[in-house]
Structure 1
Amino acid sequence: MTQSDYLNPAFVERLMRQHAPKNDIRVFDVRPLAIDNSASILAALTAGLSDTIIGHLGLAVTFRSGGVRQTRRMVLKIKPPGSAIVAMLNGLAGACGGTLAEVYPTYKDLTGFLHTDQRELEVYGKLPSSLQPDIFGLLADPEQGTYVILMEYLDDVALMNSVLAPHTWTDGHIRQALDQLAVWHADHLNRPLPIDPTYWDDAPSRAYMTRLTPLWTALLDNAAQQAPALYTPARVARLNAIIRSIPDYWHELEQLAKALVHNDLNPRNTCFKSVNGASVFCVYDWELATYHVPQYDVVELLCFVLDTDRYHLRPVYLDHYRNALHQLTGLYADEQAFKRGFDLAAFDFGLHRLGMYMMAHSVSPYPFLPRVVNSYFDMLEKGFSNRA
């Protein structure tokens, strides 16, 4: 499809009517709006790999819904096929050279990116939540390789793309984010969800993490070679010890309740929007969502928003989140056990997410990543549960 096809009122109307068939929607006009695509890592890295449009289109849509005529600013997110992302990441691994270039192709379909095209649409379509942006339409056409999300234009918001400014996250912002995150996790904890399990066949498990041990080792070796100031010998030794202990620590993790976690929860994918005069935490880009202990999202968020002057507050915020989640579920009265789950989630985050981040960073540096890595190792070295 061309850009003019996406801007066609008939196409937008079809998306909106399929998403809300009871609202008798009629689209009268669609006008393009300027939008910044630079914050999308996957869109930026996959751009140019195919002839199709990938990224975000801004739209001003005039329509009637439920008898009310209105104009809303929207974003049409055009997603690359998961296979294109897999190919792109395989190319990045090759560019890194060394063991990673040799090992990565064996596991390229297992790193969580193969189903990114369908996964986000499943979450928005079947698990709508106040934590998400307003969604106006969804389209998945595997035969054409077209995956589209029509969502609200998040323009009048706070802390959007604030990854380079962690100091702007106040104590109030962090606590509010954790409170709303606890609601999501409680609602999707240890229960069957109406999403297609086909797209979650790579969810972490003891067998999965053990099978990918050669990849975790290769990712760590690459990080140590490319960024020795960040991945010091002591830090590398710590992560190598964690890799060797995967079967043991995952034996613990398999006993813990799992939720559908965002798995990319950081200021690149969040903001605070105003709803009826109240500030609401908003989380988007759900394509990496997976199953893990709920603490996993908290590990990532705190690594991104806490700089050196606030490292000491990590246990305070973790306990705030534990209390919020316990009030909703009644399952987390044991503070020490909860901290242990946090530590175990941090092990996986360091091996998988940071390993993949460092692979991309080796080819196209991310200015925010050194700070995040240092925050991670501060957390790892302190180990809240006091057990390795």
Structure 2
Amino acid sequence: MKRSELEEHLCALATPRLMEAPSDLEVALTCYGLDSVGAVELTVVLEEWSGRRIPIDLLYECPSIRALADYFEGEQTIRLKQGFTMLADASLAPSIRPQSDGWSPGPPSIVMLTGATGFVGAWALDALLRETKARIICLVRCECSTKGLQRLREARERFGLPQSDLGRVTIEVGDLKQKQIGLTNARLDQLAESVDTICHCAAEVNWVASYAALRDTNVLAVQELLALACRGKTAAFVFLSSLATCYSTDAPIEVSEDADPEDWFEGLHFGYARSKAVSETLVRKAGSRGLPVTILRPSLITGDSFSGQGNKEDFVSLLIKGCIEMRYAPDLDWLMDFCPVEHMADVIAGTVHSPSIETRVLHVLNPRKRHWREAVLWMILSGYPLQLEPYAQWLNRLNAACAKPHFALRTLQSFFAEPVPRQGGLTIPELLEESRRSLATATHTTEILRELQIAECPRLDGHLLDRYFSSFISEGFLQHPPREEWEQLARPLDILPAELFQSIAESASGHQIASVLGIRTIDHGSDHGIITEMTAWGCRRVRGLFRHRIQASNKAGQEWYGDVMIKLKPLDYEVLDVGCRVAELCDEDLGRAYSRFQSRLEFNGCDRRELSIYQLADERMGHYMPKCYGVWHDDQRGIRALALECLDGLLLMDSANRPEDWTPPAIDATIRGLSALHVIWNDRQGELRDKDWMPPDLSVDDVVEMRPLWRCLADYARPVFGEEVYAAQTRIIDGLADWWPEQQAHHRTLIHNDFNPRNLGLRDEANGLRLCVYDWELAAWGAPQRDLAEFLCFVLQPDTPASDIERWINLHRTCLETALGEKIDADDWKEGFRLSLQSLMLERLPFYAMVNRFRPQHFLLRVVRCWNQLYQHVTVSSSSFIRRTSNKSTTIRN
């Protein structure tokens, strides 16, 4: 084919994807209207026509018809040698260094902002106008300042920002892709003498483009801006980078803020991360020459946490929409770290307002990350028909779906599908799994943000996801789930009566309250409330923990302020329903078995149980519980509420993943407190026997009949627990008819039945450490050793010496002996401990494996290993005990 014929044919292939036919063969096709969707279509068409594999970045490297013809004719071989290009680009020109010796830190008077018409930049401009008194010069690509202001207003409207006074904003007509950012020397000199801080937020965020395609905007523009910062008086430089620079396959396991991505360029496998890494290196080098620089590395920036409104074209939005369209989600171990845009804007404004001569690097992370599988579970429980699917199978579906012109993930197909060279055939998404990627730490960032008085990043929880999806649905980006209309979750203030808060204020303050002046929700959720949170997702009702700040006054006009924790409990049938759905998602047989026997599970009555226990608790029991300021239930509206003290400063709270923090004195204090609780309900079973909120007291026939459920749980947990524990589980299940009656015959009392560091802590008082245990919804009538067994499994290490195990088992017994004034047989007590370990493995630990499928329970493997060690220890002792007692009767008190 002649050259002219080749160019004519390429024009014919490209024109259907353009606004108009190319008239100049050397002009980029984007100038004729080629967008990202059209680029994907054209790449497919070129592959079909040429019969060869087309590089994913071909249209970035060969943007015009003439360049494409060069490629296909073979006159030009495209070998970018990106590594050499990146290293060369990372060399900062010697002339770029501060020209003046004096730089005085302080709030800037004039700030130059790039990217103000983009998503993050628009929010940054809003924060700068709100938090500083500076005049803002916005660099905008436009014909004139009037049209530049119009673009700013359009961006604010597009991203949900209210129109505000832009009187302090000046438009600077320029272009980051041009040399000297499109400005004359004279204008650069003027800016250099007036601008105090340059805040560079502009970037081309593209997950499939090569480094070369992004180089002009994301790298060379940084060189130009750094030169401007050093051209006249020294201007501070704030650079918005990305946490993607830390995710190199050559990076260390942990990446701190002071780590330099120049050390691992080769391990960065997509162009955007590479462009940001090179830019960071330039900024760092300018900082080493005396320029005051701040580098901000945020995680994925998502929508506003208050309204939910965000950028519908970002990676997260498209991934969610694409998976919902496909009805399948990739089964990958991603850790979702989202930074709401208003928090990122506050960080930008804070660092601009308070510059530092020292180079600062901030990792702007979410303190409560979520695993991808957990986010998928949230979507499923919220009504979307989704399934997790192995990545290879999901990719096949993705490739098929990309044939549809408006499929959400079409423009990202190559990001998901292209194997990374020299990485064993893995794609970038697989390399970004938690087990493969580096962990970015934020120790220094936390200190800096505290000094700048910037609030903590909003936590990624069900409430935030709910606001995002409500925005998606209201704007037509997503359809509501097929099975129900979508309503945004209410707040506790919307459903609880005003008189309850007045009663709470009186109880918490100890004074008679004349009026409640104000109530504000200041925090919600718990990182460890597994049952409550998942149930809230499934029933779509407000459930969980909500910290409220109450302002009230007494009759004398004296004001009182106080924080209380409102706990809105899920109803028992909601818990059971969500448990059944989770079981079905884990395994079909497990789901059927769970559904068959759910009426016998301990979750029955759990909504009323905790309320009742707080109402029944006397002074002795309350000594080891949070203070309760009020109980509220409304059967008609399905409301169960507790008002509890906020447990600020409680030692070892939520320490399930920190067994090393549990010192012998802490364990001793906990066991002594536990013993005191167990004594309170001694010989009082009659008071609880007829309470419908107590869990079913299963007979041996009940538990034997439930063997299908126990076996399904054991089978499901087997890959996590291991073969040795699975064999023990099998023996426990097979022997139910023999050992269950023995357990029922042992001494029993009211037990917490979920007694582990997820639900307890220690008060540090003048007289020593005092136990405080909360979350009583699973309380039951059972052997006191059951609480001890669970506690030791959580706080001990698998290599704990046998002598220590013996000491703590006996400490529990001797404390009870002292309180009861009765002798308890040591061997009989240890046998009860062994039976309690069996009950723990039968009824509780395998359920964690179900949850682990969606929310990794990092403590689980260690807890199971501790269980195995404890079980082996007491089983050896029990064999000796059985041999000694086989020929004589043993009295066991019940």
TM-score of the alignment, normalized to the shorter chain, above 0.5: yes
- Distance, in Å, in 2 between the alignment partners of 1:181 and 1:251 is 25
**Residue number among 116, 124, 131 corresponding to 2:624 in the alignment:** 131
Letter in 2 for 1:28: V
CA distance in 2, matches of 1:269, 1:26: 35
Task: Say if 2:601 and 2:695, in contact at 8 Å, map to a contact too.
Answer: no
Say if 2:568 and 2:642, in contact at 8 Å, map to a contact too: yes
Match of 2:829 among 315, 324, 338: 338
Letter in 2 for 1:222: Y
Structure 1 letter corresponding to 2:609: R
How far does the alpha carbon of each residue in 1:1-46 deviate from its partner, in whole angstroms, 9 at most, with x for none? Answer: 64333687533124567x89x9755552433323452221112212
Distance across 2 between alignment mates of 1:66 and 1:213: 62
Could you tell me how far 1:55 is from its partner in structure 2? 1.2
Q: Is the 8 A contact 2:786 2:840 kept in 1?
A: yes
C-alpha spacing 1:65/1:301, structure 2 compared with 1 (3 Å): farther
Structure 1 residues 64 and 133: CA distance shift in structure 2, 3 A:
farther
Name the SS of the counterpart of 1:158 in structure 2: coil
The structure-2 alpha-carbon separation of the partners of 1:23 and 1:276, relative to structure 1 and needing over 3 Å to count, comes to farther
Which of residues 650, 659, 663 is equivalent to 1:157? 650
Provide the secondary structure at the position in 2 that maps to 1:49. helix
Give the Å deviation of 1:60: 2.1
Correspondence for 1:383: 874
Give the equivalent residue in structure 1 for 2:268. Answer: none
Q: Give the aligned partner of residue 323 of structure 1.
A: 814
Q: 2:673 aligns with which of 159, 167, 180?
A: 180
- Report the equivalent of 1:107: 597
Report the Cα offset of residue 112 of structure 1. Answer: 0.8
- Partner residue of 2:565? 75
Equivalence for 2:760: 270
Task: Compute the displacement of 1:244 (Å).
Answer: 1.8
Q: CA 1:63–1:279 in structure 2 vs 1: closer, same or farther (change >3 Å)?
A: farther
CA–CA distance in structure 2, aligned partners of residues 76 and 198 of structure 1: 24
> Partners of 1:139 and 1:352 in 2: how far apart?
30
Matched residue of 2:697: which SS? coil
1:204–1:92: structure 2 CA closer, same or farther, 3 Å change rule? same
Match of 2:776, SS? coil
Alignment match of 1:28 (pick from 513, 516, 523): 516
**Equivalent in the alignment of 1:200:** 694
Which aligned pairs between 1:34-49 and structure 2 lie closer than 5 A?
34-49=523-538
Specify whether residues 319 and 75 from structure 1 end up closer, same or farther in structure 2 by C-alpha distance, changes over 3 A only. Answer: same
Output one character per residue of 1:348-379: Cα deviation in whole Å (capped at 9) or x when no partner: 11010012112222333211111111111111
1:314 aligns to 2:808 (yes or no): no
Distance 1:277 1:331, change over 3 A: closer
2:739 corresponding residue in structure 1: 249
How many Å separate the matches in 2 of 1:64 and 1:348? 51
Shift of 1:345: 0.8
Provide the residue aligned with 1:12 in structure 2. Answer: 501
User: What letter is aligned with 2:746?
Assistant: L
Cα deviation, residue 171, structure 1: 0.5
- Verify: 1:95 aligned to 2:600, yes or no: no
**Residues matched between the structures, number:** 382
How far, CA to CA, are the matches of 1:251 and 1:11 in structure 2?
A: 45
Superposition deviation, residue 101 in structure 1 = 2.4
Name the CA shift for 1:184/1:372 in 2 (closer, same or farther; >3 Å): same
User: Equivalents in 2 of 1:275, 1:75: separation in Å?
Assistant: 22
What is the rounded CA distance, in whole Å, between the counterparts of 1:5 and 1:251 in structure 2? Answer: 49
- Match of 2:853, SS state, is helix
Q: CA 1:311–1:143 in 2, change beyond 3 Å: closer, same or farther?
A: farther
Distance (Å, rounded) in 2 between the aligned partners of 1:117 and 1:274: 31
CA shift digits 1:140-187 (9 cap, x unpaired)? 222211110100001122111111101111101100000011011011
Which one is further off, 248-257 or 74-83?
248-257
1:212 to 702, 706, 709: 706
Offset of residue 271 of structure 1: 1.1
Rounded to whole Å, the distance in 2 between the matches of 1:248 and 1:330 is 32
CA shift digits 1:73-123 (9 cap, x unpaired) = 210011111111101110111011143123111012222112111011011
Q: Label 1:293 to 1:86 Cα distance change in 2 as closer, same or farther (>3 A).
A: same
Aligned to 2:492: 3
Shift of residue 254, structure 1, vs aligned partner: 2.5
State yes or no: 1:121 paired with 2:604. Answer: no
- Check the 8 A contact 1:25/1:65 in 2, yes or no: yes
Q: Equivalents in 1 of 2:766, 2:835: separation in Å? A: 39
Partner of 1:363: 854
Please report how far the alpha carbon of residue 215 of structure 1 lies from its aligned counterpart in structure 2 after TM superposition.
1.3
Contact 2:710/2:842 (8 A) holds in 1? yes
| Distance (Å, rounded) in 2 between the aligned partners of 1:2 and 1:235 | 44
**Quick one: which amino acid aligns to residue 386 of structure 1?**
S
What is the letter of the counterpart of residue 864 of structure 2? Answer: V
Runs of at least 5 residues in structure 1 that lack an aligned partner in the other structure: none
Corresponding letter in the other structure for 2:805: R
Q: Kindly indicate whether the alpha-carbon contact (under 8 Å) linking 1:311 and 1:378 is maintained by their aligned counterparts in 2.
A: no
What's 2:717 paired with?
A: 223
SS at match of 1:43: helix
**Inter-CA distance 201–46: structure 2 relative to 1 (3 Å threshold):** closer
| Structure with more contact order per residue of length (Cα contacts < 8 Å, sep ≥ 6) | 1
Amino acid at match of 1:223: A
TM-score by length of 1: 0.90
* Displacement of 1:286: 0.3
Please state how far the C-alpha of 1:250 moved relative to its aligned partner: 2.0
The answer as to whether partners of 1:27 and 1:61 remain within 8 angstroms in 2 is: no
- CA separation of 1:59/1:193 partners in 2, compared to 1, >3 Å: closer, same or farther? farther
Runs of 5+ consecutive residues of structure 2 not aligned to the other structure? 1-489, 883-894
One-letter amino acid matched to 2:640:
Y
Q: For the aligned residues, what is the CA RMSD?
A: 2.6
| Residues 366 and 27 of structure 1: CA distance in aligned 2, closer, same or farther (over 3 Å) | farther
What secondary structure, in the 3-state scheme, does the structure 1 residue paired with 2:800 have? helix
Provide the secondary structure at the position in 2 that maps to 1:197: coil
Q: Residues 13 and 272 (structure 1 numbering): CA distance in 2 closer, same or farther, change over 3 Å?
A: same
C-alpha distance in structure 1 between counterparts of 2:646 and 2:635, whole Å: 26
Residue of structure 2 in register with 1:59 after alignment: 548
Q: State TM-score, norm by structure 2.
A: 0.41
